[in-house]
Amino acid sequence: MNKKILTLGLSIFMLTLFSSCDKDPEVSNEEELITTVTYTLTPVTTGEIVTLTFKDIDGDGGNAPVITYTGELKTGTTYNGALSLLNEAENPAENITEEIEEEDEDHQLFFAVSGGAEGKMIISYDDKDANNQPVGLKTKVSTSGTGTGKLKITLRHLPNKTASGVSAGNITNAGGETDIEVNFDIVIK
Amino acid sequence: MLSINIRKFISFTFVAFLYLNVISQDCHLILSGKVIDQHHEENLEYATVYIQELNAGTVCDSIGRFTIDKVCPGKYHIIVSHLGCESKNYYLTITENTYQIFQLEHHEELMDEIEITGDGSQSRTGLNKNTLKKEILFEQAGKSLSEILTSIPGISSLKSGPNLSKPIIQGMYGNRVTILNHGIPQEGQQWGNDHAPEIDPNTADKISVYKGASAIRFGLQTIGGIVVLEPEEIQEDPHWHGSYQSTFQTNGLNFSGAATIRKSFDLAKIRLTGGFVKSGDKKTPDYFLTNTGNSDASFSIIVSNHASGKWKRLFYYSYYYNKNGILRGSHIGNVTDLEEAFNRSIPFYTEDNFSYKIDVPRQEVNHHLAKYNTKYFINESSNFNLDVGIQVNQRSEFDIRRGNRNDKPALDLNLFSQYYDLYYFKQSDHVEYTAGIQYRNANNTNIPGTGILPLIPDYINNTGAGYLISKYKLKKIQIENGLRVEFRNYFVARISNNREVIKEHINYLNWATNFGLKTSIFKDIKTLVDISYTNRPPEVNELFSNGLHQGVSGIEEGNSNLNAERSFKIVNEWDIKIGHSTNINASLFYNRISNYIYLQPQKELRLTIRGAFPVFKYIGTEASLTGGDIKLIHNITDHLQATSGLSYIYARNITQNSGLIRIPPLNLQLNLSYTFGRFWKIHEIKTVVGFSYDAGQTNVDLSEDFLNPPGEYYLINISTKFRLKTKNGNDIDIQFRAENLLNNTYRQYLNRLRYFADETGSNFSLNIKSYF
């Protein structure tokens, strides 16, 4: 009897010992990754399109992100602002903007201009979610005066859109989690 | 008519005959004996010995002797109790005049003796242990394992909200503390500061802590110490006996229940336990902690054979399930969010109403442990012992995610582990030897489908070790020394930043040794010195974790060049008795750790699309910890007892010339308890008023934390409990407990929740335990 138990025990031991000597982890896609933020400013009438891009293809860590700025921001101009989000780690690139549009009640973008450009670049919401609250994928931008400063774009997931000042674009009482937070150097000429 | 009378007559004579037959049995047997204290072998005066079947009993005399006469031959359940001791049930077969010595244990034994007479099956170490027995466990019912342990001076807990906590022993936690669950080192994801041990404390009959690294039989992760959960020996009683305990707590509207039953069959002895917890949102004095509910379930079984013959076998299986909500307002996306959260008086997403709902973020854990122990007695003084333990640990963590991904775990791990330990034990009059070999295997797998790159890679950890422990008993001195040599191989398959699988092997050869000496200076002064040197190899998280750790708002980077941690610890414990009324226990220690591995914040801020994050890297530093904990028990009168506990650690990060991160601040506990014998059917009434003070940590490097440590606070707790005696001997214990009676608002340094919310406010509990 004891011999039997011993043999059984030993064979289970051997089995477990040698059954798992290699590992092949599956490299899964990073589904919620946002690699690219593009803010495109198209003049309402005529003029040069301004594009601000923040791109970090390999996600957190690895190579540093690349920030580009094309075109010239002109004073006294009204622009249509369009924000697009991509996951370019996938091939073909995944359009995250659509995901935000589908869950627009749960998201809001915030735009903050600081430095010498403060007060000279007014950004207002130009879209609404189902609850008649702003989202920020579409904006109206109007410039006045000249200066150099920073534009900070923040995307919040599950903000409290009804908190004081939030629907007007003030992030202070918004809460929620930050999904993106990027800074661009801007020059208004 | 006549026939009826005849029948009556016949039945009458038959009954009378039976009756005569019974009394003609020798019902003049005498059960006599003595009731003594198990540890000091002192006689216990006025203890009660009660025979359940006869509904009769007696009280011992002033030196613990008792005599019960006119006992018929038979089998009896005997309950032995003494004020200040845990009652014990015995099962006796009486066929002749019997002399029996009953042993009882005191409720609150300060420190147990070294288990020198043990047969090596238990966690043997040169250090004293602090044990919480059933009585104390009853008083702490409804709390988690590490909260229960904090009633021992020198033990604190590292928390992540009201439900998740892990024990800290003299400043050490996580990879430096081993939890021995019914003889098997617990294998979970202990690297995470927010990962609580996956154990239901109700599966243990007693829980002990050894402060120090001497338990070298159980590995190198014992620098801080070892927590031991053990069952009691199952009595040789052929009936089902057990207890049922239910607890209700007002904070969180928490219901919990735990049952234990045991029986001795012809073939084997069995013990079964089961338990559950259901709790909703906890509450601070001012607001609910939304999404801090939890639910637990557990089950365990022990089957052991009768300890006769050459073989002793024991099988144990336990299952533990736990679902824990994490404060909704503590989930943050980046450092800006964290800073905003600091400045809130009430956390984001706080609901006005209580709820049992457990939403995201949350953790779900399943833990299985199966153990087989067999012992072969070669002769009275030597034996072989084999322990086999298999564990499966499944951990899923759910987060707030975009695109209906909340039901998809963000972290999904499966850890399968095996433990084999074989030793040979031999003892002679003055010497004991234990020589053993051990093999451990842990296989960690990230279950695909999370859609997130794993923080911890897939790995296999193979560890082989040999150890030798010897003990010498001289006249007044006991000496112990041990040596362990351990070889470890990690096979790691990790995913690099550019999504390639990199496989590598890393090997470590390490060793540990300890030397312990215990002596009685006088009869009432015992002291013990334990010196240990331990090399702890880095764990996989320290080597290879990689990525954004949402919980700490930082990017964590492992360091594959890390060497082993080298710890030198000297512990000096004192057990001093002053007269009959005062007892002092002290544990003083100095711990010098070379290459102390911790997550150090780097100067670099790394830019990501979610903003800039601080980078934390695992590095080794030179550290020293000096401290001690003292417990003083003073019996002011026979009924009134004062207990005080003080613990303090002065810890330095020598390389940085600053304080060391995450060290518990000075803590003081004062308790006054009043016990009186009986009032009507109510026995053993004990009322405790407790005061606890936490000084706040000031010895820290402020640049290593997001927020300065919170300040001092104090709490007042009261409790009263009593035992309701019933006619059939099935007692009922009842306890009322109030914690944070004054509903104080405070924050704790070692709770991550402090960044977001206050600690829980007052909590009132009702706790009922019935025995059968």
3 state SS of A92: coil
Q: What is the 3-state secondary structure (H, E, C) of B172-224?
A: ECHHHEEEEECCEECCCCCCCCCCCCCCCHHHCCEEEEEECCCCHHHCCCCCC
Strands A147-157 and B582-608: unpaired
- Give the type of residue at B147: E
Q: Establish if B450 touches chain A: CB-CB under 8 angstroms.
A: yes
Q: Which of B351, B450, B608, B616 to mutate to test the interface with A (most CBs of A within 10 A)?
A: B608
Domain boundaries B21-104, corresponding CATH code: 2.60.40.10
Degrees to nearest 5, angle at CA B528 with B672 and B576? 35
Rounded-to-integer distance, Cα B423 and Cα B437, Å: 6
B296: number of Cβ within 10 Å: 21
Q: Are B289 and B214 in contact (CB under 8 A)?
A: no
Q: How far is A126 from chain B (nearest CA, A)?
A: 23
Q: Closest Cα partner for B650 from B632, B619, B628?
A: B628
Q: Establish if B644 touches chain A: CB-CB under 8 angstroms.
A: no
Q: Looking at the DSSP assignment, which residues form a beta bridge with residue B519?
A: B477, B527
Q: Establish if B442 touches chain A: CB-CB under 8 angstroms.
A: no
Q: What is the pLDDT of residues A43-86, one digit of tens each?
A: 999 889 999 999 988 777 678 889 999 999 999 999 999 999 99
B331: number of Cβ within 10 Å: 24
3 state SS of B704: helix
Q: Closest Cα partner for A48 from A17, A77, A16?
A: A77
Query: Count of A–B CB contacts within 8 Å?
Result: 136
Q: Distances in Å between the alpha carbon of A78 and those of A42, A114, A124, A184, B631?
A: 8, 19, 11, 19, 75
Q: Looking at the DSSP assignment, which residues form a beta bridge with residue B464?
A: B439, B487
Residue B545 with chain A: CB contacts under 8 Å: none
Asked whether the beta carbons of residue A30 and residue B611 sit closer than 8 angstroms, the reply is no
Asked whether the beta carbons of residue A31 and residue B451 sit closer than 8 angstroms, the reply is yes
* Sequence-separated (6 or more) residues with CB below 8 Å from residue A87: A30, A33, A34, A35, A36, A93, A94, A96
* pLDDT computed for residue B287 by the predictor: 97
Q: How far is A147 from chain B (nearest CA, A)?
A: 24
Q: Establish if B606 touches chain A: CB-CB under 8 angstroms.
A: yes
Nearest to A28 among B311, B448, B503 (CB): B448
Asked whether the beta carbons of residue A103 and residue B402 sit closer than 8 angstroms, the reply is yes
- Give pLDDT < 50 ranges for chain B: 1-2, 13-24, 107-125
Q: Establish if A164 touches chain B: CB-CB under 8 angstroms.
A: no
Asked whether the beta carbons of residue B332 and residue A178 sit closer than 8 angstroms, the reply is yes
- For chain B, the farthest-separated pair of C-alpha atoms sits apart, in whole angstroms, at 111
Q: Establish if A110 touches chain B: CB-CB under 8 angstroms.
A: no
* Sequence-separated (6 or more) residues with CB below 8 Å from residue B249: B142, B256, B279, B763, B764, B765
Query: And the tokens for B236?
Result: 């040789």
Q: How far is A39 from chain B (nearest CA, A)?
A: 14
Rounded-to-integer distance, Cα B560 and Cα B506, Å: 9
Query: And the tokens for A142?
Result: 């109007």
Asked whether the beta carbons of residue B405 and residue A177 sit closer than 8 angstroms, the reply is no
Handedness of CA B46, B52, B55, B56 (dihedral sign): negative
Q: Distances in Å between the alpha carbon of B267 and those of A4, B91, B305?
A: 19, 17, 7
Buried residues in B374-389 as b, exposed as e (16+ CB within 10 A): bbbbeeeebbebbbbb
Percent of chain A predicted with pLDDT > 70: 89
Nearest to A60 among B331, B348, B555 (CB): B555
Q: How far is B441 from chain A (nearest CA, A)?
A: 8
Q: What is the pLDDT of residues A146-166, one digit of tens each?
A: 999 999 999 999 999 999 999
Domain boundaries B129-232+253-771, corresponding CATH code: 2.40.170.20
Q: Cis peptide before B361, with omega less than 30 degrees from 0?
A: yes
Q: What is the dihedral of CA B589, B594, B596, B600, to 10 degrees?
A: 130
* pLDDT computed for residue B187 by the predictor: 95
| Alpha-carbon A140 to chain mean position | 19
Q: Which of A13, A28, A35 to mutate to test the interface with B (most CBs of B within 10 A)?
A: A28
B59: number of Cβ within 10 Å: 11
Residue A153 with chain B: CB contacts under 8 Å: none
Query: And the tokens for A19?
Result: 């059954």
Q: Closest Cα partner for B248 from B284, B276, B273?
A: B276
- For chain A, the farthest-separated pair of C-alpha atoms sits apart, in whole angstroms, at 95
Element holding B636 (H helix, E strand): none
Asked whether the beta carbons of residue B609 and residue A182 sit closer than 8 angstroms, the reply is yes
* Residue of chain B minimizing CA distance to A15: B418
* pLDDT computed for residue B579 by the predictor: 85
Q: Establish if B516 touches chain A: CB-CB under 8 angstroms.
A: no
Q: Which of B360, B610, B617, B756 to mutate to test the interface with A (most CBs of A within 10 A)?
A: B610
Q: Establish if A177 touches chain B: CB-CB under 8 angstroms.
A: yes
- Give the type of residue at B595: N
Q: Are B293 and B281 in contact (CB under 8 A)?
A: yes
3 state SS of B47: coil
Query: And the tokens for B308?
Result: 């006769």
Rounded-to-integer distance, Cα B593 and Cα B535, Å: 10
* Sequence-separated (6 or more) residues with CB below 8 Å from residue B20: none
Q: Are B528 and B214 in contact (CB under 8 A)?
A: no
3 state SS of A155: strand
B650 conformational bin, left if phi > 0, alpha if psi -120 to 50, beta if neither: beta
* pLDDT computed for residue B15 by the predictor: 47
B310: number of Cβ within 10 Å: 10
Nearest to B460 among A23, A156, A180 (CB): A23
A positions 57-96 inside 8 Å of B (CB):
58-62, 64-65
Nearest to A20 among B372, B460, B495 (CB): B460
* Residue of chain A minimizing CA distance to B338: A177
Q: For chain B, what are the domain ranges? A: 21-104, 129-232+253-771
Q: What are the strands, taking DSSP E only, across B82-169?
A: 88-94, 98-104, 129-132, 155-159, 165-169
Question: How many CA atoms, within 13 angstroms, populate the side-chain half-sphere of residue B658?
Answer: 14
3 state SS of B222: coil
Asked whether the beta carbons of residue B402 and residue A65 sit closer than 8 angstroms, the reply is no
Q: Are A161 and A107 in contact (CB under 8 A)?
A: no
Q: How far is A188 from chain B (nearest CA, A)?
A: 24
Q: Establish if B503 touches chain A: CB-CB under 8 angstroms.
A: yes
Rounded-to-integer distance, Cα B107 and Cα B39, Å: 12
Element holding A101 (H helix, E strand): helix A96-102
Q: How far is B251 from chain A (nearest CA, A)?
A: 27
Q: Are B101 and B92 in contact (CB under 8 A)?
A: no
3 state SS of A8: helix
Residue A181 with chain B: CB contacts under 8 Å: 333-334, 336, 609-611
Rounded-to-integer distance, Cα B762 and Cα B667, Å: 20
Q: Are B696 and B711 in contact (CB under 8 A)?
A: yes
Are B21-104 and B129-232+253-771 equal in CATH topology?
no
Strands B98-104 and B65-71: unpaired
